[in-house]
């Protein structure tokens, strides 16, 4: 795990000698949750982290890259980090697969204490009980957005406190939070959350296209050429690097705004 990287494990006693808690699992403490530990802590009881297939790590990497690309300034993306969800019912340290947070002032060598903007759990080989227990705890602590990415089914389930879950299936588009609007992306296809090829359109390729589009508009502005809003919107929406390169050349050489608009119409 990425949390607590410099904190060595403490000898808290053999797990098999611990007393049992109210739901039949061995009792534990925060000292059992260290970098590389196989354990999470749920209201005073130890929960063994579930192993998963390669697809789990792939989806985690895709989502983290998407969030890092589109997260607004001041947001931090963390993966597999302990989050403190302790409450009067007992101490809890659970580790979402990916969290997007906006209140991390500086790096920590301790569990994250706060409310994430968005938390993601990736359903691979984990038991239903394991996943539902974690998500229920997040919602009880008023985490505003929780995504469950079902890796095998290629579906995304979106949960919010006090509302019914919404499931996005292949072929649908998933609306993104405003906090992920750095480059103006409002939604992504479900496939972009699970397939690297589809995801690349909204990470590296998206940033490249947005940079080119802004360059086109900057050249027009520097030359004093005022284009209609519909043409400006088309430039900003373009995702084809070849077209943007042509438009950049036209922005630098066009005799008038009308000439540039005609170049955009030609594609």
Residue 49: count of CB within 10 angstroms of its CB: 16
Helix 229-237 vs helix 257-266: crossing angle, to nearest 10: 40
Is 213 found in the same domain as 183?
no
As given in the structure block, the two tokens for residue 169 are 């299936």
Number of domains in the chain: 2
Closest CA to 41 of 99, 89, 106, 105: 89
Question: CA separation (Å) from 180 to 76, 83, 118, 243?
Answer: 11, 21, 10, 26
For residue 262, the model assigns a pLDDT of: 94
Angle in degrees, CA 211, 201, 206, rounded to 5: 15
pTM over 0.85, yes/no: no
Identify the domain boundary among 195, 228, 244.
Answer: 195
Q: Is residue 21 part of a domain?
A: no
Identify the domain boundary among 195, 220, 249.
Answer: 195
pLDDT tens-digit profile, the chain (267 residues)? 444 444 455 566 788 899 999 999 999 999 999 888 999 999 999 999 876 668 888 999 999 999 999 999 999 999 999 999 999 999 999 999 999 999 887 666 689 999 999 999 999 867 788 899 999 999 999 999 999 999 999 999 999 999 999 999 999 999 999 999 988 889 999 999 999 999 998 988 887 888 899 999 999 999 999 999 999 999 988 888 889 999 999 999 999 999 999 999 998
Q: Is residue 65 part of a domain?
A: yes
Closest CA to 99 of 146, 53, 137: 146
Q: Is residue 13 part of a domain?
A: no
Is 118 found in the same domain as 75?
yes
Is 89 found in the same domain as 57?
yes
C-alpha torsion angle, residues 209, 212, 213, 217 (rounded to 10): 170
Q: Is residue 42 part of a domain?
A: no
Is 182 found in the same domain as 84?
yes
Q: Is residue 27 part of a domain?
A: no
Is 76 found in the same domain as 126?
yes
Q: Which domain holds residue 222?
A: 204-266
Is 218 found in the same domain as 92?
no
Question: CATH no. for residue 116?
Answer: 3.90.1570.10
Is 232 found in the same domain as 252?
yes
Is 155 found in the same domain as 234?
no
Identify the domain boundary among 172, 195, 218.
Answer: 195
The rounded Cα 267 to chain-centroid distance in angstroms is 34
For residue 207, the model assigns a pLDDT of: 79
Q: Is residue 25 part of a domain?
A: no
Is 179 found in the same domain as 213?
no
Q: Is residue 116 part of a domain?
A: yes
Is 169 found in the same domain as 84?
yes
Judge whether 233 and 263 are in contact, CB under 8 Å: no
Is 164 found in the same domain as 95?
yes
Is 178 found in the same domain as 261?
no
C-alpha torsion angle, residues 21, 24, 29, 35 (rounded to 10): -170
For residue 52, the model assigns a pLDDT of: 60
As given in the structure block, the two tokens for residue 5 are 């990287």
Q: Is residue 106 part of a domain?
A: yes
CA–CA gap between residue 234 and residue 215 (Å, rounded): 14
For residue 5, the model assigns a pLDDT of: 42
For residue 138, the model assigns a pLDDT of: 98
């Amino acid at each position: 795990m990425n949390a607590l990287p410099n904190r060595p494990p403490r000898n808290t006693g053999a797990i098999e000698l611990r007393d049992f808690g109210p739901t039949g699992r061995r009792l534990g403490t925060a000292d059992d949750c260290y970098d590389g530990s196989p354990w999470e802590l749920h209201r005073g009881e130890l929960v063994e982290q579930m192993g998963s297939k390669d697809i789990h790590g792939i989806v985690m990497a895709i989502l983290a890259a998407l969030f890092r690309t589109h997260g607004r300034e001041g947001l931090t993306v963390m993966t597999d980090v302990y989050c403190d969800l302790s409450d009067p019912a007992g101490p809890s340290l659970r580790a979402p697969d990916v969290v997007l947070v906006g209140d991390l002032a500086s790096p920590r060598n301790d569990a994250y204490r706060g409310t994430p903007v968005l938390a993601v759990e990736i359903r691979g080989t984990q038991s239903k009980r394991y996943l539902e227990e974690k998500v229920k705890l997040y919602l009880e602590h008023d985490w505003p957005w929780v995504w469950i990415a079902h890796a095998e089914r290629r579906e995304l389930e979106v949960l919010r406190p006090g509302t019914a879950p919404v499931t996005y299936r292949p072929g649908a588009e998933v609306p993104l939070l405003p906090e992920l609007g750095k480059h103006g992306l409002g939604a992504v296809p479900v496939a972009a959350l699970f397939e690297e090829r589809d995801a690349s359109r909204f990470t590296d390729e998206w940033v490249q296209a947005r940079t080119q589009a802004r360059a086109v508009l900057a050249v027009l502005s520097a030359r004093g050429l005022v284009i209609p809003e519909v043409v400006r919107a088309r430039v900003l929406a373009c995702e084809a690097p070849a077209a943007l390169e042509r438009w950049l050349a036209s922005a630098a050489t066009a005799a008038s705004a009308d000439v540039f608009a005609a170049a955009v119409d030609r594609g």
